Chain A
């Protein structure tokens, strides 16, 4: 039982990071109907930027994160602007276009930061605290808290602000959105920017948890995507539940299957998608003739 709970605790903080990645995917999908395959690479860029500012420029961790988020947000804007001609037209082409961006970002990362990775020390004291016999790292709590705050802010933005409502409206019906005066392209650009910012947040947070390397984003991106699908693509609570679920699944797989954890995670994910393609919170879409 103790081991079981410890495994869950171990999965939750990484799960929170997956949830942030999933939120980025979901937001962009919700507003644009596009899956951004470069999202994982944006996570890596965010991780490198944050760790560079934190380690080399000796900035406080929080400030380093903010700058990283700003820079990746700009990258998001560029991606959206270039692919805008394909919006609402050909999804498969857009998918390949984002893969193209992913390839470019991947190369840029290696060019700027080199192919070897770096370890990022935890910005908070590393001694774990003890709760009812469970060892919890303080940094894990920081990750959870930040992820929770980011989620709440995102939900508030979408539900309470005019811009947030408009962004959702664009996703539901871009023509009706245009008719009420919403600039669809601008709305999509903002969605992409926030999505990229969330990716950077996830990347920055995961730095002290994992080793920062060019391959970081690939795994995080796919698991975040899996989390988004698992929860029901486009659903915000779904992204969180999916993220935590994948995190825990990961943690168990690592405990039981060691090196094969990725294999097991993807197989389980594939089976779930086969059984329920719309995820836990997803809605069935009607195929119109």
Chain B
């Protein structure tokens, strides 16, 4: 079975190796250019498809790599390879600068800013003396390699092939391990990724870092191949061509990007005498792809498969939810400390006072219930505590430290974990990958390991998978491991979200309406899970409308109304508190016979 899996790969490798023997000198030139575009497309795919960062400056990265090589070899007299290394460094440096707007703006804005910076680059190279103006720079020396004459495009092909293979494998390595997973999580839902400890700003920069490395590599290869650089090679038209390759091929799959690059390049070559026709063609295909097949060519097999199975009326999955296996309980500690202290918190949204001078303390090992009518400020409170909102006034202390205004990912790494009212699972990741994102606590800045210690990255990845399997087993989710969460019934999605929040290893767990939409049996299981989580040493705060659940689960309940605490105490105490009855049932339900006796029967 294993040999069979590698057979096609070996076949492709042999074909790639033998390819030059069947090509004339023009064809090999075309192939060489295609490989460069493939490298660029992989970089764009990593940034846009995997990282979700709109990058319309990839062609500028390409240009910087090529121009820097040209300038360093012809003007400064460095050798080709030294120049190549320096050029790569320059590309990365400028790539990070171009990426910084991503820290502040996203989506359309980021698109226009990167496009503007790409135009600024073209503007600079067309005007500057050092870049040779509109004429460009010619007579770049042939890269030297002992024993190999790289002025032959046939031999240059092998150099490119090796570089291409290396960067493709590296890209796939990134995508399939922790860093790529975290980037994909950020792409699907930056908010939830942050709440699980993904350092969103660092990840965004990493996306641009990767894009610029690939752009720089492409540029260096280009300078060595063509040995002449001029502004029009790095025009916006080429940027859009590159974008077309990535979109048509399938931006979320690196292989798709490569297929798109090869396919579109070949089409462009076929229409080389009618470039405008080709342009209309691929522009139209881009439009059709985004409307009808947003996952591109790479997504087609999956779509066809699901369409086929739907047509044949097969049930989606026969997987079953297994029972939850409780955590081993920790011995109760006598000296319970304060986990969370919220002091005089206010949050104002324009005219609306969502939180009004609210104070609250929660001690270790508690299951605290927070209830209140809709619009009473419960979710706003969670959002302020977990760092999504900045409070207008007041402070939040977590385990004795002031954490007011801290970024969500810092709080998550300090041991705070949460779920969301309307489920924020990473839709394009599998259930297991959702858990892996939470389990992976390594810092993104340690990603240099990918280059210098890849084996340790792989080992860590295996380790995480083992842990994920344990979590899947514990929550009875093993049979759903490989499925996308959206395909699962709601109750199971809820369970996945809780499993994910606990997998992050928090000391404080915030659950925002975990029972919403669950049926009676599911609510019972939920209460079992929450209790076991608490017994394993995690403090829990739970917002819930299902009063039955709150009353049976929580030792202490805080009741909010109008952004204030109107009552706090044990379940029985709170349920009979006049202010609570007023908030929930209206102010004069006295004519209803009290049911406390019935309940205590």
Interface residues of A (CB under 8 A from B): 35, 37, 82-83, 85-86, 90-97, 99-108, 110-111, 218-219, 222, 225-226, 229, 258-263, 266-267, 269-270, 273-274, 277, 286-287, 289
Chain A residues in 8 Å Cβ range of B108: 35, 91, 95
* Of B104, B282, B291, the contact of A86 (CB 8 Å cutoff): B291
Q: B112 and A35: CB pair below 8 A?
A: yes
Task: Give the complex CA separation of A123 and B112 in angstroms.
Answer: 34
Contact indicator B109/A102 (Cβ below 8 Å): no
| Interface size range on B against A | 35 or more
* A258-B123 Cα distance, complex, nearest whole Å: 11
Q: CA–CA, A126 to B90, complex, Å? A: 48
Enumerate 23 A-B pairs (CB-CB under 8 Å) in ascending A order. A82-B291, A83-B290, A91-B108, A95-B108, A100-B284, A101-B283, A103-B240, A104-B287, A106-B279, A107-B276, A107-B283, A108-B280, A110-B276, A219-B119, A260-B123, A262-B123, A266-B117, A266-B119, A266-B120, A273-B104, A273-B105, A273-B113, A274-B101
Chain B 107-141, CB-CB to A under 8 Å as 1, else 0, gives 11101110111011001101100000000000000
Whether A100 contacts B287 in the complex (CB less than 8 A), given A91-B108, A274-B101, comes out as yes
Answer whether A97 and B127 are a contact pair too, CB < 8 Å, given A83-B291, A274-B101, A277-B109: no
Within 8 A of A (CB), among B80-124: 100-101, 104-105, 107-109, 111-113, 115-117, 119-120, 123-124
Q: Would you call B388 an interface residue if the criterion is a C-beta within 8 Å of the partner chain's C-beta atoms? A: yes
B379 near A97: Cβ-Cβ < 8 Å: no
Determine if B107 and A103 form an interchain contact, defined as CB atoms under 8 angstroms apart.
no
A226-B237 Cα distance, complex, nearest whole Å: 20
B420 at the interface (CB under 8 A from A): yes
Interface string of B250-267 (1 = CB under 8 A from A): 000000000000000000
Q: A92-B107, A229-B109 are in contact. Are A263 and B100 (CB under 8 A)?
A: no
> In the complex, are the beta carbons of A270 and B101 less than 8 A apart?
yes
| B residues neighboring A (CB under 8 Å) | 52, 54, 100-101, 104-105, 107-109, 111-113, 115-117, 119-120, 123-124, 126-127, 191, 236-237, 240, 243-244, 247, 276-277, 279-280, 282-287, 289-291, 294, 349, 379, 382-383, 388-389, 420-421, 424
A287 to B380, CA, bound (A): 11
Which of B279, B287, B349 makes the CB contact (< 8 A) with A97? Answer: B287
CB-based contact A103/B111 at 8 Å: no
Residue contact B247 to A96, C-beta cutoff 8 Å: yes
Known: A91-B107, A270-B113, A289-B379. 9 other contacts (CB 8 A): A97-B291, A99-B286, A100-B290, A108-B280, A218-B119, A226-B112, A260-B123, A287-B191, A289-B191
Output the nearest chain B residue to A108 by Cβ-Cβ distance: B280
Q: How far is the CA of A263 from the CA of B115 in the complex (A)?
A: 12
Query: Which secondary structure dominates where chain A touches chain B?
Result: helix
Assess the A102–B240 pair: CB atoms within 8 A: yes
With A229-B109, A273-B105 in contact, do A103 and B119 touch (Cβ < 8 Å)?
Answer: no
> Nearest CB to that of A110 among chain B residues?
B276
Report the nearest B residue to A34, measured CB to CB. B108
A104 touches B280 (CB 8 A): yes
- Contact A90-B286, Cβ < 8 Å, known A35-B108, A99-B240: no
Number of A-B contacts (CB under 8 A): 140
Q: Tell me, rounded to whole Å, the shortest Cβ–Cβ distance linking A256 to chain B.
A: 14
- Residue contact A82 to B119, C-beta cutoff 8 Å: no
Q: Tell me the bound Cα distance from A96 to B112 in angstroms.
A: 12
A287 adjacent to B388 (CB under 8 Å): yes
A271 CB to nearest B CB, Å: 9
B251 (CB) vs chain A CBs: closest residue: A96
- A68 to B124 CA separation, bound complex (whole angstroms): 34
Q: In the complex the two chains form, what is the Cα distance from A289 to B386 in whole Å?
A: 11
Kindly report which residue of chain A lies nearest to residue B241, judged by CB atoms: A103
Residues of A within 8 A of B116 (CB): 222, 226, 266, 269-270
Residue of A nearest to B284 (CB): A104
Contact (Cβ within 8 A) B290 A101: no
Interfacial chain A residues near B117, Cβ < 8 Å: 266-267, 270
Complex-state Cα separation, A82 to B289, whole angstroms: 12
Q: A90–B127 contact, CB under 8 A? A: no
Interchain CB contact under 8 A, A260 and B124: yes
Smallest Cβ distance from B436 to chain A, in angstroms? 23
Determine whether the beta carbon of A100 is less than 8 Å from that of B124: no
Residues of B within 8 Å of A287, CB to CB, are: 191, 388-389
B286 near A103 with CB under 8 A, answer yes
Docked complex Cα distance between A289 and B101 (Å): 23
Q: Are B283 and A103 in contact (CB under 8 A)?
A: yes
Name which of B105, B124, B286 has the most chain A CB atoms within 10 A of its CB. Answer: B286
**A243 CB to nearest chain B CB (Å):** 15
Assuming the contacts A263-B120, A270-B113, asked whether A93 and B294 have C-beta atoms less than 8 A apart, the reply is yes
* Residue in B111, B124, B280, B283 whose Cβ sees the most chain A Cβ within 10 Å: B283
